């Protein structure tokens, strides 16, 4: 098939492009490079089945493809709060433009949604049936509510036009090709540890997250896209193992053999206290669960950042 991946130069998108090429598909990678990086896809540019187009999804796109993976959107607070209006435009206008494209082509389309649609949850772990607890006017709303609005559009296109949709709620994902300055906790901790700077924990360090290695997440996306047409989701994809920020910091310190010290800072506004996916639906419908433990994924990610640091020097 000919497959379009929007946001294809990002962390997940670049790994997804690799996987689709390995599976024998033609891949069109579309990215505005607002947060994506040419470096993430540089090794693919000479592949005969790979094309790249610089394009902002807030502008309609006219291409011919069989399937669409819609990943385009800044996904870390540092990036999506830099230009919150553009973030909301990317979520809503980007969804409309990709859905219009899918409708014209009769193509199946997958929306990369997020665990942020659950907000600061009062149900734990979070099943797909939970409607969430989101601040609609907070500093994170451009992303949280933008993704919720995109989900609404996907299901309305499905109900109104019979469009084949897949909606996946992605929980914290990490791995090689993370952006070093995106403000995410794993990249923050690793970069601070490798440089010997203090490791910064916001709050008391007892807030929790679940971390899914990027290869596991890509496997879930491909399995979901290939699943029967009637299974639209939303479906959670993430690692159900839960870690406190303090536990994560200690793992990073041990794996990097760093002399960095842990320091505590005030918790940012609307930062969720706990986050862990209920992946029962993904297990039942896709036969999927993550296989890469955090310790192994961290080793691979630390090596990537070490290599990148060496190249910069």
Q: What is the pLDDT of residues 8-22, one digit of tens each?
A: 999 999 999 999 999
Task: Say what the pTM is.
Answer: 0.94
pLDDT(139) > 60: yes
310 pLDDT band, cuts 50/70/90, is: low
* Selection from 120, 57, 111 nearest residue 88 by Cα: 57
Contact 272, 120 (CB under 8 A): yes
Annotated catalytic residue, options 80, 143, 174, 213: 143
Quote the number of domains for the chain. 1
- Complete DSSP assignment for the chain: -EEEEETTTSHHHHHHHHHHHHTT-EEEEEE--SS--HHHHGGGTT-TTEEEEE--TTS------SEEEE--S--SHHHHTTSHHHHHHHHHHHHHHHHHHHHHHT-EEEEEEEGGGGBS-SSSSB-TT---B--TTSTTHHHHHHHHHHHHHHHHHHHHH---EEEEEE--EE-TT--TTS--HHHHHHHHHHHTPPEEEETTS--EE--EEHHHHHHHHHHHHTS-TT----EEES----EEHHHHHHHHHHHHT----EEEEPPPTT--S---B--HHHHHHH-------HHHHHHHHHHHHHHHHHHH-
Contact 248, 206 (CB under 8 A): no
- What is the extent of the structural domain holding 8? 2-174+212-240+275-291
Domain-embedded: residue 197: no
Report the 10 Å Cβ neighbour count for 60.
Answer: 12
For the stretch 189-242, pLDDT in tens is 999 999 999 999 988 889 888 999 999 999 999 999 999 999 999 999 999 999
Domain-embedded: residue 62: yes
CATH code, domain carrying 16: 3.40.50.720
Domain-embedded: residue 17: yes
Mean of pLDDT values over 66-87 = 91
To the query of whether residue 33 is one of the catalytic residues in this protein, the response is no
pLDDT(311) > 60: no
Q: Is the dihedral of CA 285, 115, 306, 312 positive or negative?
A: positive
Domain-embedded: residue 233: yes
Domain-embedded: residue 186: no
Domain-embedded: residue 251: no
pLDDT(313) > 50: no
């Amino acid at each position: 098939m000919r497959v379009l991946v929007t946001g294809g130069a990002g962390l997940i998108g670049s790994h997804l492009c690799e996987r689709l090429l390995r599976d024998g598909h033609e891949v069109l990678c579309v990215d505005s490079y607002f947060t994506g990086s040419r470096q993430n896809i540089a090794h693919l540019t000479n592949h005969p089945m790979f094309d790249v187009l610089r394009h902002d999804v807030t502008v309609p796109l006219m291409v011919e493809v069989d399937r669409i993976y819609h990943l385009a959107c800044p996904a870390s607070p540092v990036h999506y709060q830099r230009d919150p209006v553009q973030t909301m435009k990317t979520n809503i206008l980007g969804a409309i433009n990709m859905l219009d494209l899918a409708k014209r082509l009769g193509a199946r389309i997958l929306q990369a949604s997020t665990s942020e649609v659950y907000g600061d949850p009062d149900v734990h772990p979070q099943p797909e049936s939970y409607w969430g607890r989101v601040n609609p006017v907070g500093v994170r709303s451009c992303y949280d509510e933008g993704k919720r609005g995109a989900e609404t559009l996907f299901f309305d296109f499905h109900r109104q036009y019979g469009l084949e949709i897949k909606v996946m709620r992605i929980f914290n994902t990490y791995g090689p090709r993370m952006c070093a300055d995106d403000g995410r906790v794993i990249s923050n901790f690793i970069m601070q540890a490798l440089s010997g700077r203090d490791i910064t924990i916001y709050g008391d360090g007892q807030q929790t997250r679940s971390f899914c290695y990027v290869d596991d997440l890509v496997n879930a996306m491909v399995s979901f896209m290939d699943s029967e047409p009637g299974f639209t989701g939303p479906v959670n994809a993430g690692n159900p193992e839960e870690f406190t920020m303090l536990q994560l910091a200690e793992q990073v310190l041990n794996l990097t053999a760093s002399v960095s010290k842990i320091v505590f800072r005030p918790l940012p506004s609307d930062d969720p206290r706990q986050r862990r996916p209920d992946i029962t639906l993904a297990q039942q419908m896709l036969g999927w669960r993550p296989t890469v433990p955090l310790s192994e994924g961290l080793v691979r990610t630390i090596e990537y950042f070490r290599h990148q640091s060496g190249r910069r020097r």
